[in-house]
Amino acid sequence: MVVSLDDDFNFLVRKISKSSGIVLTGYRDSYLKRRIDLRMKAVGMNNYALYRGLLEKDQHEMKEVINMLTVNVTEFMRDKTPFMFFREELLPDIMERKIQCKSNIVRFWSAACSYGEEPYSIGISSREVLPEDWTVSIYATDIDEKCLKGASQGIYSREQLKNLDPPLVMKYFEPSGEDFKVKNIRKLSIRFQKHDLTSEPPISRHFDAVFCRNVMIYFNESQKIKMLNDFYNALSDDGYLIIGKSETLPVEIRELFAPVSIREKIFKKV
């Protein structure tokens, strides 16, 4: 039997998938190869079969490669302008619609929230715009439990807060050693929950906006389409979808979402 390089790679991916519980079939091959190659280079290897052998006996290396596959880079108000648009355009519009239907509850989903900077940014923006007696409920999900644990503690460095205006830092954070801790976390009503966008149905429905930024870039086309259909079903009528600045909607899905701001990558459920 001849074993090709692709077979070795696929065996390796299956091994990682089985150990981590992450369904890797939805990720782009080029992304998986690039990230696994980086890890192999770090341990001085260039052979997928041998690397699989190493993973079988070295739990630490298994953790390292899983970390490498779930890139957690993020910051408060990442890219800044989509969050300004959210605050200045979307929140007033959502508020007006809620008033018309005599509701004072708004619901958001931060899908792939990493260490929590995105859901806290959503919570802070909402508290700044919406009346005090309104309920803002935020679901914040990620596949990575380590991120969710960090997120629920709400402690961030000065660098991570650099996009937040200083008065907001003063208002929503308190010093914690050299870092800053979110004040009164419970008031922001963020529910952190483990959720895999590739294999699980939406966590809930009737969201006024879904933020899913900077994770779709790692998924293949069919995975993107599955996930965007899920978001469509999870949004209320006229709900908003906010994706990452470098991401695009696949053509197959474009009739489900109308652009609100092409520049900020904000769409509305049709």
Ligand X SMILES: C[S@@+](CC[C@H](N)C(=O)[O-])C[C@H]1O[C@@H](n2cnc3c(N)ncnc32)[C@H](O)[C@@H]1O
Pattern 198-227, binding to ligand X, x per CB under 6 A? x--------------xxx------------
230 contributes a contact to ligand X by CB under 6 A: no
3-state secondary structure of 99: helix
- The residue within the footprint of ligand X, chosen from 106, 109, 142, 210 (CB under 6 A), is 142
Report the 10 Å Cβ neighbour count for 16.
Answer: 21
Structure tokens at 88: 């200045």
Distance CA 265, CA 192 (A): 25
- Beta carbon nearer to ligand X, 114 or 137: 114
Closest residue to ligand X: CB criterion:
74
95 binds ligand X (CB under 6 A): no
Of 69, 74, 73, the closest CA to residue 22 belongs to 69
Question: What is the distance between the alpha carbons of residues 33 and 28, in angstroms, rounded to a whole number?
Answer: 9
Q: Does 112 bind ligand X (CB under 6 A)?
A: yes
Cβ distance to ligand X smaller for residue 137 or 141: 141
- Nearest residue (CB) to ligand X, 95 versus 213: 213
Taking residue 98's Cβ as centre, other Cβ atoms within 10 Å add up to 16
Structure tokens at 182: 């979110």
Minimum distance of ligand X from residue 161's CB (angstroms): 14
Residue closer to ligand X (CB basis): 95 or 208: 208
CB of 97 to ligand X, least distance (A): 25
Distance of CA 21 to the CA centre of its chain: 18
18-57: contacts with ligand X (CB under 6 A):
none
Tell me which stretch binds ligand X (CB under 6 A): 80-88, 122-130, 137-145, 177-185. 137-145
189: left (phi over 0), alpha (psi -120 to 50) or beta: left
**Whole-angstrom distance, CA of residue 173 vs CA of residue 26:** 38
Check binding of 74 to ligand X (CB under 6 A): yes
What's the CA gap between 194 and 32, in Å, rounded?
22
Out of 2, 3, 73, 262, the residue judged to bind ligand X by CB under 6 A: 73
Under the rule (CB under 6 A), what is the footprint of ligand X? 70-74, 78, 112-114, 118, 142-144, 147, 196-198, 213-215, 244
